[in-house]
């Protein structure tokens, strides 16, 4: 399978490439891949002595997921086979059959099943190996698979009806809470984080204006409404009002921020709309915001510890869940594709939802992002004595 390729000085040639199997909204069985950079130091675990080259995907123990494989510099008819470097950690095969050989097409799918995961912040690691010619042929591409044991987090959604001082019918959130929760699960699943979602609490409060919770007294009342301990309380409402800040669609108060801001309890508040814009039907938008705020409960900071007034705008940062700005609207075209595609209804790119796994350094051993390795940080925070609540 020779191919002509002109090389000036040095160049890395990639025969096959791994990528997320679908575009659009995050799905449980099609995880995002940490495809930033190429080399990273091993995080320990059962392969502590071996460094990884290439991309990384996370899988929860017991889950089966699918990853796309594209023949970049390999003929579509070339016989390719898929093997696992450690079947006690992870098994893999051709999508739909689990058997070899791989489909003789340009884009193929590999199914990956997590067998034994690391219980703490350090995963067990195995590699999907794409081989040419036979099951024992030369390896032409590898995908590092980090397998995690299930780590549970409790979350309680509240749909709040807000009545106004003048009486009349109150206004509740119109968000599809159940579907939003499913999407949040899909975003965090590659880190081995699962959620026990309690039944939706249907709450009712009386504020100055129907459907609106104003900063700060009404927000404090909201965060004290039907509060459930030992869980992340997420309040879905129609609208948030903060004087001088008309575009607020969400607020999150994780410990210790709840103390710093003077709120009675930690919690997350998500609004359907701001004046002139309603996102109540936009599951991806709402779920991404909720998953981002949940990340703060897991001790994650914004990418590179830079907030909305000075965010990083490199493409790696924009792909990440913890970017401080929702990059979906009003940005140059190059920012519209964060790996999740474009929404056909408004032409804007879906916001990124990658929880970084790699802890990358450059040739000078300087960190690319000071907040890298978010999966490790999150699992450490969840399992700590303080916990996520």
**pLDDT tens-digit profile, the chain (389 residues):** 566 777 777 777 789 999 999 988 899 999 999 998 876 665 665 554 456 678 999 999 999 999 999 999 899 999 999 999 999 999 999 865 555 688 899 999 999 999 999 999 999 999 999 999 998 999 999 999 999 999 999 999 999 999 999 878 899 999 999 999 999 999 999 999 999 999 999 999 999 999 999 999 999 999 999 999 999 999 999 999 999 998 899 999 998 888 888 999 999 999 999 999 999 999 999 999 999 999 999 999 999 888 888 888 887 888 899 998 876 555 566 565 677 776 655 556 678 899 999 887 655 555 567 888 999 999 999 999 999 99
Distance CA 194, CA 174 (A): 25
Contact between 95 and 109 under an 8 Å Cβ cutoff? The reply is yes
Q: Indicate whether this model's pTM tops 0.75.
A: yes
DSSP state of 348: P
What SS3 string covers 150-189?
A: CEEEEEEEEEEEEECCCCCCCECCCCCHHHHHHHHHHHHH
Distance CA 135, CA 81 (A): 6
Distance CA 388, CA 377 (A): 12
What is the DSSP pairing of strand 52-53 with strand 39-40?
antiparallel
User: What residue ranges define each of the domains in the chain, with the CATH number in brackets?
Assistant: 16-149 (2.60.40.10), 152-383 (3.40.390)
Distance CA 387, CA 160 (A): 26
Token pair recorded at residue 15: 């025969």
């Amino acid at each position: 399978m020779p191919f002509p390729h002109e090389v000036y000085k040095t160049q890395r040639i990639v025969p096959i490439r791994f990528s997320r199997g679908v575009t659009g909204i995050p799905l449980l069985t099609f995880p995002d891949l940490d495809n930033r950079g190429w080399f990273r130091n091993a995080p320990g675990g059962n392969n502590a002595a071996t460094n990884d080259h290439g991309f990384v995907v996370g899988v929860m123990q017991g889950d089966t997921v699918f990853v796309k494989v594209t023949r970049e510099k390999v003929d579509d008819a070339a016989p390719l086979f898929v093997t696992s470097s450690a079947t006690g950690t992870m098994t893999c095969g051709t999508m739909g059959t689990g058997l070899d050989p791989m489909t003789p097409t340009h884009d193929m799918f590999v199914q990956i099943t997590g067998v034994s995961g690391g219980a703490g912040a350090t995963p067990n690691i195995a590699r999907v190996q794409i081989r040419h010619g036979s099951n024992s042929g030369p390896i032409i591409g590898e995908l590092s698979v980090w397998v995690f044991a299930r780590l549970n987090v409790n979350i309680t959604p509240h749909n709040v009806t807000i009545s106004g001082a003048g009486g009349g019918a109150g206004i509740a959130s119109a968000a599809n809470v159940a579907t939003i929760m499913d999407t949040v699960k899909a975003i965090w699943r590659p880190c081995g984080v699962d959620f026990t979602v309690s039944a939706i609490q249907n709450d009712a409060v009386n504020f100055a204006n129907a459907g609106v919770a104003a900063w700060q007294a009404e927000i404090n009342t909201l965060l004290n409404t039907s509060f459930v301990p030992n869980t992340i309380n997420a309040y879905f409402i129609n609208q948030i009002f903060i004087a001088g800040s008309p575009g607020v669609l969400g607020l999150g108060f994780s410990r210790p921020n709840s103390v710093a801001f003077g709120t009675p309890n930690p919690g997350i508040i998500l609004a359907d709309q701001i004046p002139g814009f309603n996102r109540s039907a936009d599951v991806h938008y709402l779920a991404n915001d909720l998953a981002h705020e949940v990340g703060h409960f897991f001790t994650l900071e914004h990418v590179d510890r830079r907030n909305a007034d000075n965010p990083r705008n490199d493409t790696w940062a924009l792909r990440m869940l913890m970017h401080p700005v929702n990059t979906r609207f009003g940005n140059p075209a190059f920012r519209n594709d964060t790996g999740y595609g474009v929404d056909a209804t408004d032409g804007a790119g879906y916001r990124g939802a990658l929880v970084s796994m790699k802890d990358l350094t450059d040739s000078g051993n300087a960190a690319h992002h000071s907040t890298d390795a978010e999966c490790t940080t999150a699992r450490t925070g969840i399992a700590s004595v303080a916990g996520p609540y």
